[in-house]
């Protein structure tokens, strides 16, 4: 997603106008969400998901939008565990609310859901509502083609709105963080190639960099969580592109599987050589994040040489006073024998589906009030008040000397830190309000200039990500933004799951030696053929062509 001057100007202009009080108060307008007869607030039932530290009915932002848009909410709050199942039950039973407002990282409508319930008439197309009452949503989609693609179904209807939260450091998730304190002690340089990386790990294993006289060092570790902590993608990217999701690559506009290429086999051979030399913690292929962090925070001695992670807080505490955190610094993408140095890249928190929909139970008044409320969250003020908390409680205007996260950005938002022991402020909706947060918006947040201090952590991640930016292939298959033909969604989903599981199971068996890369490689490729890999690629190619 390329930086757009139009987006920057639009966001800053809207932000400045609203923040300075220049925007007009249209509360007396018949379009403000009140009933045509002026009978008071519009009653709206909403299905949502409980988030930690937030009580939605008593939340201060809830009261703020109720007053602003003349709404009285009837909340149906559901625990995150089982929320998806309850949502599906409500839809199947016919006893569903006026709207669903979800958090994208807990539950949201899949593209298949949107098409299914949209065709049934359960979910209302939002196109006309957006055209008439949502100028900010409309402007965002006109200036951002990716946002428009994500929101627009193949039939041209917008059945729901996505969470477009463009997190820069999340968009390059497969990073490595090396103990540079150990590098200095051993008089080593940051590695730039696969061979140098292996040599550094060997030195960490054999030269006692923690100085305790024990061979207790763990050269390289990670975990098996879903995103950004697995060790294989960073290493494989020195041979062939590894998306860490579906193992797809693009060549000349054609969707291909990277996992059957000679380069994939070469990458597995390299990773196996690290494993055979005892340079990879076997637990990296079995442990969860909690076990991984126990290695990084080992109480007796500092034992971790390199940790895989989107950010170092995954495996080491970044609390003030913990000097160990500053020892871990990013390893830029390394080059393999063929000169390849890719970096896994994705939408940075942007995913297909929808977090907000309006159902056919909603009255016309409710539809208008809801779309106006969401449109407000497409302004900088609305997005900040909703996602970060209300101004004066959770954030304030920057002061003299404050610096924005983005190098060329004007500081606009300064978050007010929580005091030790302070109770949750319950002033914002957090993930429920994440609607439109492009990189240009996030770059306006004030960040400290000391990257190892708690108020500079985001800058630390931002600066690290700059080392990875541009290392993605020129062609990427945007699986997160293509709509698969409704008649093929179930088939594609099953193929995707079976193929992904097969690739991941086999790469582990090859690395650990349970399968032989020379003897068993052809059988492995044949297995993917039997799982209908060609058919899966055919479906994806068709969806990609349609998206263009």
User: What does DSSP assign to residue 503?
Assistant: H
Report residue 319's pLDDT band, with 50, 70 and 90 as the boundaries: confident
Q: How far is CA 448 from the centre of its chain?
A: 23
Sequence-separated (6 or more) residues with CB below 8 Å from residue 164:
140, 144, 146, 147, 150, 350, 435, 436, 437, 438
Report residue 391's pLDDT band, with 50, 70 and 90 as the boundaries: very high
Q: Which of 61-65, 187-191, 351-355 has the lowest mean pLDDT?
A: 351-355
Q: Residue count of the chain, please give it.
A: 548
The neighbouring-strand residues paired with 97 are none
pLDDT, residue 146, reads: 87
> Kind and range of the H or E element at 307?
strand 304-308
Beta carbons of 239 and 270 less than 8 angstroms apart: yes
Angle of helix 111-119 versus helix 489-512 axis, rounded to 10:
170
Burial 72-108 (b: 16+ CB within 10 A, else e): ebebbebeeeebbebbeebbeeeebbbbbbbbbbbbb
How far, in Å, are 266, 439, 441, 496 from residue 166 at the CA level?
33, 5, 9, 25
Query: pTM, whole model, 2 decimals?
Result: 0.87
Report residue 5's pLDDT band, with 50, 70 and 90 as the boundaries: very low
pLDDT by residue (tens digit) across 258-302? 999 999 999 999 999 999 999 999 999 999 999 999 999 999 999
Average pLDDT over the chain, rounded to whole?
91
pLDDT, residue 499, reads: 98
Beta carbons of 156 and 485 less than 8 angstroms apart: no
Q: Which of 4-13, 37-46, 153-162 has the lowest mean pLDDT?
A: 4-13
Beta carbons of 83 and 106 less than 8 angstroms apart: yes
Count of other CB atoms within 10 angstroms of residue 416 = 14
- Torsion angle, CA of 262/267/271/273, rounded to 10 degrees? 60
pLDDT, residue 286, reads: 95
Report the SS3 class of residue 184.
Answer: helix
pLDDT (average), residues 538-548 = 90
> Kind and range of the H or E element at 126?
none
How far, in Å, are 14, 15, 384, 472 from residue 405 at the CA level?
20, 17, 15, 23
Burial tier of 463 (Cβ tally within 10 Å: 0-12, 13-18, 19+)? middle
> Kind and range of the H or E element at 255?
strand 254-257
Count of other CB atoms within 10 angstroms of residue 28 = 7
Tell me the C-alpha distance between 270 and 259, whole Å. Answer: 15
pLDDT by residue (tens digit) across 198-234? 999 999 999 999 999 999 999 999 999 877 899 999 9
Q: Which of 46-55, 241-250, 307-316, 319-328 has the lowest mean pLDDT?
A: 319-328
* Ramachandran assignment for 370, one of left (phi > 0), alpha (psi -120 to 50 degrees), beta (any other): alpha
Tell me the C-alpha distance between 308 and 232, whole Å. Answer: 9
Q: Which of 536, 510, 508 is nearest to 522 (CA)?
A: 510
- Torsion angle, CA of 366/371/373/379, rounded to 10 degrees? -170
Q: Which two tokens stand for residue 194?
A: 């696969």
Q: Are strands 71-78 and 42-49 parallel, antiparallel or unpaired?
A: parallel
> Which residue would you say has higher pLDDT here, 321 or 491?
491
Q: Which two tokens stand for residue 309?
A: 């992670």
Q: Please report where in the chains the tokens 């949201």 appear, as a residue.
A: 108
Any idea what the Cα angle at residue 290 is, between residues 287 and 295, rounded to 5°?
80
How far, in Å, are 470, 494, 528, 541 from residue 501 at the CA level?
29, 11, 11, 21
Instruction: Name all domains of the chain by residue range, CATH numbers in brackets.
Output: 40-172+347-446 (3.40.190.10), 173-344+475-480 (3.40.190.10)
**Terminal-residue alpha carbon distance, the chain:** 15
Q: Which of 30-44, 120-134, 140-154 has the lowest mean pLDDT?
A: 30-44
How far, in Å, are 25, 113, 358 from residue 365 at the CA level?
19, 25, 12
pLDDT by residue (tens digit) across 28-66? 333 333 343 357 899 999 999 999 889 999 999 999 999
Report the SS3 class of residue 254.
Answer: strand
pLDDT (average), residues 352-378 = 97
Q: Which two tokens stand for residue 434?
A: 């994440």
How far, in Å, are 13, 113, 300, 441, 449 from residue 404 at the CA level?
17, 39, 39, 11, 9
Report the SS3 class of residue 181.
Answer: helix
Tell me the C-alpha distance between 209 and 202, whole Å. Answer: 11
Q: Which of 145, 323, 342 is nearest to 238 (CA)?
A: 342
Q: What is the DSSP string of 158-180?
A: --SB--EE--TGGGS---EEEEH
pLDDT, residue 38, reads: 54
Beta carbons of 86 and 78 less than 8 angstroms apart: yes
């Amino acid at each position: 997603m390329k930086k757009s001057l139009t987006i920057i100007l639009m966001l800053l202009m809207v932000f400045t106008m609203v923040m300075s009080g220049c925007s007009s108060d249209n509360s007396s307008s018949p379009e403000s969400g009140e009933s045509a007869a002026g009978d008071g607030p519009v009653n709206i039932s909403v299905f949502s998901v409980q988030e930690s530290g937030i009580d939605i009915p008593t939340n201060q932002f809830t009261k703020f939008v109720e007053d602003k848009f003349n709404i009285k909410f009837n909340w149906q709050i559901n625990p995150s565990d089982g929320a998806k199942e309850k949502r599906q039950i409500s839809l199947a039973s016919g006893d569903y609310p006026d709207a669903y407002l979800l958090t994208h990282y807990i539950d949201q409508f899949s593209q298949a859901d949107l098409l299914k319930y949209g065709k049934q008439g359960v979910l209302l197309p939002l196109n006309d509502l957006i055209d008439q009452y949502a100028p900010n949503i409309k402007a965002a989609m006109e200036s951002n083609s990716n946002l428009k693609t994500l929101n627009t179904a193949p039939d041209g209807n917008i059945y729901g709105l996505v969470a477009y939260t463009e997190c820069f450091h999340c968009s390059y998730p497969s990073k490595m963080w090396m103990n540079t304190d150990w590098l200095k002690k051993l008089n080593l340089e940051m590695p730039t190639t696969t061979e140098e990386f292996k040599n550094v790990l060997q030195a960490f294993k054999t030269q006692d960099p923690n100085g305790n006289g024990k061979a207790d060092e763990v050269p390289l570790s990670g975990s098996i969580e879903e995103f950004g902590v697995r060790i294989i993608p960073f290493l494989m990217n020195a041979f062939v592109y590894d998306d860490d999701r579906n193992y797809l690559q693009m060549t000349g506009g054609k969707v291909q599987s990277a996992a059957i290429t000679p380069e994939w086999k070469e990458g597995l051979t390299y990773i196996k050589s690290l494993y055979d030399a005892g340079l990879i913690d076997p637990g990296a292929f079995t442990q969860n994040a909690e076990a991984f962090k126990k290695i990084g925070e080992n109480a007796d001695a500092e034992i971790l040489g390199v940790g895989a992670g989107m950010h170092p807080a995954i495996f080491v505490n970044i609390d003030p006073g913990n000097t160990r955190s500053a020892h871990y610094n990013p390893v830029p993408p390394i080059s393999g024998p063929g000169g390849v140095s890719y970096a896994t890249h994705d939408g940075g928190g942007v995913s297909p589906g929808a977090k907000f929909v309006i159902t056919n139970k909603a009255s016309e008044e409710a539809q208008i009030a809801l779309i106006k409320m969401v449109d407000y969250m497409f302004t900088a003020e609305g997005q900040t008040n909703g996602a970060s908390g209300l101004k004066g409680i959770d954030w304030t205007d920057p002061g003299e000397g404050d610096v924005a996260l983005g190098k060329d950005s004007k500081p606009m938002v300064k978050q007010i830190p929580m005091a030790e022991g302070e109770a949750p402020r319950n002033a914002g909706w957090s993930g429920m309000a994440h609607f439109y947060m492009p990189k240009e918006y996030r770059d306006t947040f004030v960040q400290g200039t000391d990257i190892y201090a708690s108020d500079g952590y985001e800058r630390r991640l931002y600066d690290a990500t700059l080392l990875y930016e541009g290392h993605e292939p020129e062609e990427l298959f945007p699986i997160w933004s293509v709509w698969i033909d409704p008649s093929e969604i179930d088939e594609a989903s099953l193929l995707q799951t079976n193929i992904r599981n097969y690739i991941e199971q086999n790469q582990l068996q090859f690395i650990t030696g349970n399968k032989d890369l020379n003897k068993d490689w052809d059988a492995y490729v044949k297995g993917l053929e039997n799982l209908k890999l060609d058919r899966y690629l055919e479906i994806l190619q068709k969806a990609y062509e349609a998206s263009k």
